[in-house]
A and B are shown apart, each in its own frame.
Chain A
Amino acid sequence: MGLIKKSRVKSPWIMHFDNSSCNGCDIEVLACLTPLYDVERFGIVNMGNPKHADVLLITGPVNRRTARVLRNLYEQVPNPKMVIAVGTCASSGGVFHNCYNVLGGVDKVIPVDVYVPGCAARPEAIIDGVVMALQSLTEQRHLWVTCPHCNLEHEVTDQRWRI
């Protein structure tokens, strides 16, 4: 593992974006920064600037207003970047999935690397999600999944998987 690759795992800078969340997950994201969980011991720093960030932590379902903002933020993050959907709403739309103004989960707008379900997602699960997203940077994971269309097992080299 090269120096830069190793450093990537050791220093993920996070940017947190609230789509249209109920703030439950947002509070859990902020709880990660407190002395109890202290994510800075893994080098994780909460940034306010997409141009400095490596990981986008997104909470809440995407609605028609925030979809444009979310795409804009995603494009401002320099590569390599990772997207983590925190909470049930960000993963699938949750209880808001059939609202007239809600498009659904974050993956309707931008590619998502890791889904962290939960209402609200616990800080441990969020930290776990970040660690899992970092592993996707270092190793190419091969998964065998059953294809919903042809019912055969396919090898998936895509780096996205669910926890």
Chain B
Amino acid sequence: MNQLIIVIATIVLAPIAGGLLFGIDRRITARLQGRFGPPILQPFYDFFKLMGKESIAVSKMQFVWIYAYLVLMIASLLCLVLQSDFLVLVFLLGFAGVSLVLGGFSTKSPYSHFGANRELLQILAYEPVLLLLAIAIYAQNGTFLISMIVSNQQPLLLSLWPLFIAVLYVLTIKMRKSPFDISTSHHAHQEIVKGITTEYSGPFLALYELAEWYEIVLVLGVIVLFWANPLWIGLLIAFAAFLLELVVDNITARMTARWMVRLSWSVGLILGILNIAYLYIMKGVF
């Protein structure tokens, strides 16, 4: 019963938090660019406007995949708040990304295909880092369970700080911010038309935005895990990481997809592998 309340509260509150975060994002970005910026509630206006628009079907399959993207993203977030298995969370997040890619491939539009190919490269860039994080959590706690991370007195950040830096890369890629906003961008609205969201219109674009709100809450939630006890320090770290992301977004230019994969693998994988090796050496496994 208690868990049911948590599930309902998450499904209702997470998009509100995510939408507000995106509103803050747009406002701060505007201020950094010397503009006044839209109201904080702007993402909600966009969402409800899109809900009231006509939906134009290019291919019926893309609607199935956008629903799959949303549902898997919610499932992944529920894994986090119910403190279940971290590995399952990573796989569900991977499946969610793949459904978005398949949605992009299910139309004939070349722009949509471009976006889907680039989204695949993004998954290729961040998924290994998250898997390494799961392994490192196992090396630290002896279990993949998030409940153990939360109940553990010693925060993960102290021993896993190299992976924390790698996860900041993942945050940039998942938030689709510069320099990694290659599959679709928040700023360049005319860039290769609109990447993977090109063929979505009206309510289905709204569903995509809704899934993005869940996604940002999920990725920031993963960052909270680095200092989950006491929780408020973790929340502060996550919010600081979010603000850092906005600054990075505004001071960097977009790079190519190949550069993104190279950077994410060279920095993320090396930091992750060194970190895991260190953990095992300290435990005396080798």
Contact = CB atoms under 8 A, between A and B. Distances in A.
A78 B45 contact: no
14 contacts: A7-B44, A10-B42, A10-B45, A38-B30, A40-B38, A43-B39, A48-B189, A48-B191, A49-B189, A51-B200, A76-B56, A78-B56, A78-B201, A80-B53
Interface string B32-57: 01111111001011111101111110
Interface of A: 3-8, 10-11, 13, 35, 38, 40-43, 45-49, 51-52, 54, 76, 78-80
Given A4-B48, A79-B53, A41 B191 contact: no
B70 to A, nearest CB: 18
- Most B-side CB within 10 Å, residue of A3, A4, A7: A7
Interface of B: 26, 30, 33-39, 42, 44-49, 51-56, 189-191, 193-194, 197-202, 205
A80 B52 CA distance: 9
Given A7-B49, A11-B45, 18 more contacts: A4-B48, A5-B52, A7-B48, A10-B39, A11-B42, A38-B36, A38-B37, A41-B35, A41-B38, A43-B38, A43-B39, A43-B42, A46-B190, A48-B189, A52-B205, A54-B49, A79-B53, A80-B54
A142 to B, nearest CB: 24
Contacts of B47: 7
A51 B199 contact: yes
Question: Does more than half of chain A's interface fall in helix, strand or loop, or is it mixed?
Answer: mixed
Contacts of A35: 33-35
A48 B184 CA distance: 12
Contact of A78 (B26, B42, B46, B53): B53
Contacts of B191: 48
B107 to A, nearest CB: 11
A9 B26 CA distance: 18
A35 B111 CA distance: 30
A4 B189 contact: no
B51 A4 contact: yes
A92 B31 CA distance: 39
Nearest to B43: A11
A49 B38 contact: no
